Amino acid sequence: MGGVHLQVPTFGHQALRLTLPCIGSGEAVRVFQSQHGFHVIDTLAYYDAASAARHLRIPALVAVALFDPIVSPPGQFAVFNAIAEPLKRLFVLQTGHFGHAGQQQQLWEMKRELASFFMEP
């Protein structure tokens, strides 16, 4: 049947994203919104990964991070949560876009999970 892997998915829950400081492109959009005072959310809604995720019809392994200075974790979880229940599988990373002591081990665990996921009939 095939499947998809999403690792620290970005652009999820755009309205929430505008309220969360980060150091990624989301910060530039957030600052632009605050300085110019018009509703960029009207346009951003068309680019919301969580909205798009609702339309997935194939299995999805989604790796989300508990801490990520670039892609806010609530947006990552919003993408995962939008996928229909029987199709989604969660892999939780300690960090995204940020190193930590157990990172190599966790990446190996994720590779094993990916191999298992893509080998399933």
Q: How far is the CA of 47 from the CAs of 42, 52, 121, in angstroms?
A: 10, 8, 32
Q: What domain range is 81 assigned to?
A: 4-119
CB atoms within 10 A of CB 98: 13
Q: What is the mean pLDDT of each run of 10 residues along the chain (121 residues)?
A: 92 93 90 86 92 97 98 97 97 97 97 95 76
Can you give the pTM of this predicted structure? Answer: 0.92
Residue 120 has what pLDDT? 84
Domain count, the chain: 1
CATH of the domain at 85: 3.40.50.1820
